Structure 1
Amino acid sequence: MIEVSKDGGLLTLTLNRPEKANALTAAMLADLEAALAGPPPAALILTGVGKVFSAGADLEEMQAGLGRNPAWERVSAAIAAMPCPTIAALNGTLAGGAMGLALACDMRLAVTGAKFFYPVMRLGFLPQPSDPARLAALIGPARAKMILLAGARIEAEEAQAWGLIERICAPEALMTNAQALMVDALAAKAGHIAAIKALIG
């Protein structure tokens, strides 16, 4: 359910469970963790199959404690620590705990019509520990509270205006845009990329 594709220095990880809106299971988190544990690529793209990037955690597994699985934090921490550029190429709506994967990336592109929400207040769960701070760093504390406390559903245009995503693309142009942003990194030395990321913080 996680497709791993390597093309030179570009690593692409694809959520492929469209019949369940790419809802994440413990097995999928384990697969993501394993894929991120190897030698760091020159660039990383995270995307999905279908019209939804991810509906968040699989609700059946949430009843068995998936929301408290430390793998969520390990996966997002691994993405955030990558010494290469990372892009979430969001092929559709992003919801719930899956938002942590995108928040950990350096850049986020989304297709027209994508929506963004994190319904922890309504469902009675806590967000993953690192997600609120990463969200607030991108869009500010008040807007982070709109999403986490008020349950706001944000359209793509508003998400871009807030700084949650950097670019809106037509669905057929999403991966082309993501790959184009990686061209310079794929031609650079790994140490150079890591040094620039460290300067940005």
Structure 2
Amino acid sequence: MIHCQHTQGICLLTIDRQDKANSLTADMLRALTAALKVPHDTRAVILTGKGRVFSAGADLDEARAGLATSPEWERLSARMAAMPCLTIAALNGTLAGGAFGMALACDIRLAVPEARFFYPVMKLGFLPQPSDPARLVHLVGPARAKVILMAGQKITAPEALSWGLIDRIVDPADLMQAAMDLTADCVTAAPEHVAAIKAMCDQA
């Protein structure tokens, strides 16, 4: 379900539950959080999914049983946000619901042209994860955050790029190479140097 591969200072995390649109169970959330306890020499983390959807959010059956309001979502996004290395969300398809949190917590977001972005908490009667509204407002501004969280609109990849929700649109065939290319300088640097520059950017 969650594949973790460490290669030359890069940790690649892949969500692989294609038959369920990469929807996330509690066990998968815990596995993702645990996988972010990376070796000291990790300079970059790339998060992606298998198939045509990055993640549809919470598994429907588990959501009805309480997963939609579980603190596991916030634990995962907090761990991602606290990573001292470069973090990249390589969004291979649509990003929905609770899956927003871990992507918002990444430093850089790439997406394929077909990706759509929506977070239907208003319609479903749930609150978003505690940190998500502030991160979303930081990226796109308060009005556009409300378009997503309150009006429940599905945002296309070009619109997401123009808003600042994502940083680049990349052809699906080139997505992983584009993500790897962004790590090139980091993987040749000392981990402490990577962490120092990231800290300076985050404090700006």
2:130 counterpart of 1:116: no
- Distance across 2 between alignment mates of 1:98 and 1:17: 13
Aligned residues: 201
- Distance across 1 between alignment mates of 2:185 and 2:37: 24
Write the mapping of 1:9-24 to structure 2, written as runs, cut at 5 A.
9-24=9-24
- Give 3-state SS (helix, strand or coil) of 2:46's partner: strand
The unaligned stretches of length 5 or more in structure 2 are none
- Give 3-state SS (helix, strand or coil) of 1:116's partner: strand
Write the mapping of 1:9-88 to structure 2, written as runs, cut at 5 A.
9-40=9-40, 41-88=42-89
Match of 2:163 in 1: 162
User: Contact (CA 8 Å) 2:15, 2:54: kept in 1 or not?
Assistant: yes
Deviations 1:11-65 (A, max 9, x none): 0000000100000100100111111124342100000000000001111101111
Question: Structure 1 residue runs of 4+, over 6 Å off?
Answer: none
User: Contact (CA 8 Å) 2:114, 2:156: kept in 1 or not?
Assistant: yes
Indicate the RMSD between aligned Cα atoms, in angstroms. Answer: 0.8
- Distance across 2 between alignment mates of 1:61 and 1:68: 10
Deviations 1:84-115 (A, max 9, x none): 00000000000000000100000000001100
> Identity of counterpart residues, as a percentage?
62
Residue 21 of structure 1 aligns to which amino acid in structure 2? A
- Distance across 2 between alignment mates of 1:116 and 1:96: 9
The unaligned stretches of length 5 or more in structure 1 are none
- Distance across 2 between alignment mates of 1:116 and 1:65: 23
- Give 3-state SS (helix, strand or coil) of 1:24's partner: coil
Deviations 1:120-153 (A, max 9, x none): 0111111010000000000001100000000011
2:5 counterpart of 1:5: yes
Greater mean deviation of Cα atoms: 154-163 or 62-71: 62-71
- Distance across 2 between alignment mates of 1:107 and 1:33: 18
TM-score (norm 2): 0.97
Write the mapping of 1:112-191 to structure 2, written as runs, cut at 5 A.
112-191=113-192
TM-score (norm 1): 0.98
